[in-house]
Amino acid sequence: MTEFYVDLHVHIGADSQGRPVKVSGSRKLTFENIAKECFSRKGVDIVGIVDAAAPGVISDIEQLIDSGEMTEIPGGGIGYRDRVVILLASEVETSEENRGHSHHLILLRTLDTAKAFSRSLRRCVSNIFFSTPVCAMPARDLYRMAMDTGAIPFPAHAFSPHKSIYGNCVRRLDDAFPLELLDSIFALELGLSADTDLADTISELSEYTFLSNSDAHSLPKIGREYNVMLLESPSFDETIKALRRKDGRRVVANYGLDPKLGKYHRTYCPRCSRTFQHESPPVLVCPECNSASVVRGVLDRITDIQDYSAPKHPAHRPPYRYQIPLEFVPGIGPKSIDKLISKFGSEMAVLHTAQEEELREAVGNKAARLIIEAREGTLPLVAGGGGHYGKALINDG
Kindly give the pairing relationship between strand 274-275 and strand 320-322. Answer: unpaired
Nearest partner of 371 among 323, 319, 301, judged by Cα: 323
Contacts of 326 (CB under 8 A, 6+ apart): 332, 336, 337, 340, 347, 350, 351, 371
Residue 5: phi and psi, rounded to 5, are: -85, 130
Which residue ranges does the chain devote to CATH 3.20.20.140? Answer: 2-259
In this prediction, residue 331 carries a pLDDT of: 80
Residue ranges of the chain with pLDDT lower than 70?
395-397
In this prediction, residue 136 carries a pLDDT of: 84
Gap between the Cα atoms of 189 and 117, Å rounded: 21
Superfamily of domain 2-259: Metal-dependent hydrolases (3.20.20.140)
Nearest partner of 264 among 355, 345, 191, 165, judged by Cα: 191
Residue 359: phi and psi, rounded to 5, are: -65, -40
Gap between the Cα atoms of 249 and 46, Å rounded: 15
In this prediction, residue 370 carries a pLDDT of: 85
Nearest partner of 23 among 123, 127, 105, judged by Cα: 127
Gap between the Cα atoms of 374 and 358, Å rounded: 16
In this prediction, residue 383 carries a pLDDT of: 80
Nearest partner of 118 among 96, 73, 88, judged by Cα: 88
What's the longest Cα–Cα distance across the chain?
60
Nearest partner of 24 among 6, 43, 51, 59, judged by Cα: 51
